Amino acid sequence: MDQCVTVERELEKVLQKFSGYGQLCERSLEELIQYAGGLRREILQTEMFKVSLSNLVQWEDPACGRGLEQVIFKVQHKTFCDSNFDSDISSVGIDGCWQADSQRILNEVMVEHFFRQGMLDVAEELCQESGLSIDQSQKEPFVELNRILEALKVRVLRPALEWAVSNREMLMAQNSSLEFKLHRLYFISLLMGGTANQREALQYAKNFQPFALNHQKDIQVLMGSLVYLRQGIENSPYVHLLDANQWADICDIFTRDACALLGLSVESPLSVSFSAGCVALPALINIKAVIEQRQCTGVWNQKDELPIEVDLGKKCWYHSIFACPILRQQTTDNNPPMKLVCGHIISRDALNKMFNGSKLKCPYCPMEQSPGDAKQIFF
């Protein structure tokens, strides 16, 4: 989770740099256009109608010359990058994979991702252009969560506290510490006001009562900090309570717990698939080139699985993979794991091959049972 947050922060920094670079280029071009327009007017006024571009660059002041040289360099640099780093990745695609139902599913995943990111207008535009019908009830939770997250980013706790109090029972059922940490942050904000907020802080401390059993030590620390209100928390042994990182942490905790209540993953399926694709793409391009050199392209197109195993790293491990101990094959949707009455688990294909008549003998214990009593299990 920490690694994902770090990557997300670094991505935001890169996007901000790209945005700033684009704005700088636009301003530079606008200034050059205005400067060139001024030169044109001066030339027309002085009846200098025949001036070549080279003479103009030599005649104008050095600042504008440097500006033109920078624009020319940037254009050349972009042309070089486009010609040298534009890799052809279409070779690893499968023809017809985004047809009919698959295209609809992709659009739904994209719409959900935009909802998660708070880009509601983009999601609605995509729905209109793709013909998707999204129920209002699917959008409302994301609207509320994004509103609360935006408030937390500017250190406004009230919307998050109201949401946590209204969902207290469900949060406690999943052992969430979200509400306590929100109350803790609000209490700390009162402490930062000094002795003027002492009475209000003592009154607000009553909100810690439901959490006294699980957060006793944290509450004791908060109460102990009241002794240092006069000299200031920043000058006391409790200065760690003012750590700014806790605001980023509370955003992550809120996102995680809110998604859990909605039955959603913390990351959108689109971002997870995109990250996995970035990791797998170099290996896929290499194996595709090898297959084409050896003229065995059927290995790639005729099977429902990749010809090699691509390691995506532990961050992409979401559940266990069951391998049938009888056939020594990994289970799939068409061949799921089946739990026998005795508790042992085998694959459905192994179950079908092992039963004789109306009876099945477990390969691990002497219990005989009916094949129909086996139940499919899910990891």
Residue of 238 and 93 predicted with greater confidence: 238
Those residues whose C-beta lies under 8 Å from the C-beta of residue 354, and which sit 6 or more positions away, are: 326, 346, 360, 361, 363
pLDDT tens track for 176-217 = 888 999 999 999 888 888 888 888 988 988 888 888 888 889
For tokens 């295209």, the residue is 103
- Spans of all domains in the chain: 142-262, 323-376
Q: Please tell me the least confidently modeled range out of 63-67, 273-277, 315-319.
A: 63-67
> Taking residues 299-324, what's their average pLDDT?
70
Over the range 106-115, which residues count as b (16 or more CB within 10 Å of their CB) and which as e?
ebbebbbbbb
> Looking at residue 95, what is its pLDDT?
63
Measured distance CA(32)–CA(39) in Å, rounded: 10
H or E element that contains 43: helix 2-45
Q: Is the confidence at residue 148, as pLDDT, over 50?
A: yes
User: Residue 103 above 60 pLDDT?
Assistant: yes
Using the predicted structure, report yes or no on whether residue 73 has a pLDDT greater than 60: no
Q: What is the pLDDT of residues 352-377, one digit of tens each?
A: 887 776 778 888 887 888 878 888 88
Following DSSP, what letter does each residue of 252-280 receive, concatenated? HHHHHHHHHHTT--SS-HHHHHHHHHHHH
Identify whether the C-beta of residue 91 lies closer than 8 Å to the C-beta of residue 285.
yes
pLDDT in tens, 6-36: 657 776 776 676 676 677 777 778 877 887 7
Cα(5)–Cα(10) distance, rounded to whole angstroms?
9
The pLDDT, as a whole number, for residue 332 is 83
Kindly tell me if the per-residue pLDDT of 37 is higher than 70. Answer: yes
User: Does the pLDDT at position 260 exceed 50?
Assistant: yes
**Contact by Cβ (8 Å): 269, 107:** no
Residue 182 pLDDT = 92
Residue 59 has pLDDT above 50, yes or no: no
DSSP string, 67-132: HHHHHHHHHHHHHHHHHHS----GGGS-TTTTSTHHHHHHHHHHHHHHHHTT-HHHHHHHHHHHT-
Task: Round to whole Å and give the CA distance between 207 and 188.
Answer: 13
Higher-pLDDT residue of 78, 277? 277
Return d(Cα 340, Cα 163) in angstroms, integer. Answer: 44
What is the spatial distance between Cα 280 and Cα 312, in angstroms, rounded to a whole number? 7
Instruction: Report the top-level CATH class of 323-376.
Output: alpha beta
285 vs 47, residue with greater confidence: 285
Query: For 112-126, what is the mean pLDDT?
Result: 83
Residue 140 — pLDDT band, cuts 50, 70, 90? confident
Give the pLDDT mean for 272-279. 83
Section 46-51 average pLDDT: 46
Percent of the chain surpassing pLDDT 70: 75
Q: What pLDDT is recorded for position 327?
A: 82
Cα separation, 160 vs 147, whole angstroms: 9
Higher pLDDT, 70 or 189: 189
